[in-house]
């Protein structure tokens, strides 16, 4: 009695070559991303850039001599920390959208645009609180302290982020919370 060895298995398929397109897959085409998403990502970048410039401006004048100083959003004094948290939440809103676009394997506990909308809305409220709470304008006494140009531009950008995330949520069919669900569909 003889034993014949079974035939060798057929050769396996070679593994695919590593992708040259990075984490978003081979042949990533930026034109496939919705323009509103690009705008949201741009808002995040601009918020980061503006956080280094004039968030707060102080001016003093006495006897014909004027002195002014400004600081970015990275300083914590008095109540200016509101603006730092506002920047952080606005930036995170853009990061949430970036994660959904470029790392779709990451799943958030809430739909992408609803989470981004909540973060932008929180950022907007904190910017407004920070603008009014940090210090009174006592320009009659020769001293004034208030929001600088970067903070004002950041408030406008965050508001634009709110509108854009509402538009993207409507486009993707995400259920908007509360009274926002009754909004007429805006955008294409």
Q: Does residue 180 lie within any of the structural domains?
A: no
**145, 135 in Cβ contact below 8 A?**
yes
Q: What is the pLDDT of residues 167-176, one digit of tens each?
A: 999 988 888 8
pLDDT mean over 5-10: 73
Tell me, yes or no, whether 13 lies in a domain.
no
| pLDDT score for 115 | 94
Q: Which domain holds residue 110?
A: 35-173
pTM of the model: 0.75
Residue 142 located in a structural domain = yes
For the domain that residue 140 is a member of, what is the CATH number?
1.20.140.150
**Is 86 exposed, middle or buried (CB count within 10 Å of its CB: 0-12, 13-18, 19+)?**
buried
Question: For 67-122, how does the pLDDT look when each residue is reduced to its tens digit (9 = 90+)?
Answer: 766 666 666 665 567 888 899 999 999 999 999 999 888 888 889 999 999 999 99
Does 42 fall in a domain? yes
Q: Report the pLDDT value the prediction gives residue 137, as an integer from 0 to 100.
A: 52
Judged against a pLDDT cut of 60, whether residue 18 lies above it is answered with no
| Total domains in the fold of the chain | 1
Count of positions (residues) in the chain: 188
- In DSSP notation, 165-176 reads HHHHHHHHTPPP
Own/partner pairs, 167-171, CB within 8 angstroms, 24+ separation: 167/36, 168/34, 168/36, 168/37, 168/40, 168/97, 168/113, 169/111, 169/113, 169/114, 169/117, 171/34, 171/36
Please indicate, yes or no, if residue 187 is contained in any of the structural domains: no
């Amino acid at each position: 009695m003889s034993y014949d060895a079974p035939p060798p298995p057929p050769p396996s398929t070679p593994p695919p070559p590593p992708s040259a397109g990075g984490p978003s897959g081979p042949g990533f085409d930026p034109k496939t991303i919705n323009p509103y998403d690009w705008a949201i990502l741009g808002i995040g970048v601009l918020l980061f850039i503006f956080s280094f410039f004039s968030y707060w401006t102080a001016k003093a004048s006495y006897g014909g001599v004027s002195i002014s100083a400004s600081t970015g959003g990275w300083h914590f004094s008095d109540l200016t920390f509101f603006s730092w948290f506002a920047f952080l939440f606005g930036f995170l809103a853009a990061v949430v959208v970036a994660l959904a676009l470029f790392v779709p394997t990451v799943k958030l506990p809430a739909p992408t645009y609803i989470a981004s909308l909540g973060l932008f809305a929180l950022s907007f409220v904190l910017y407004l609180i920070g603008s009014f709470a940090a210090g009174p304008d006592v320009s009659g006494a020769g001293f004034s302290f208030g929001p600088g140009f970067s903070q004002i531009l950041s408030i406008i950008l965050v508001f634009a982020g709110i509108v854009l995330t509402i538009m993207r949520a409507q486009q993707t069919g995400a259920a908007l919370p509360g009274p926002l669900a009754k909004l007429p569909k805006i955008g294409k």
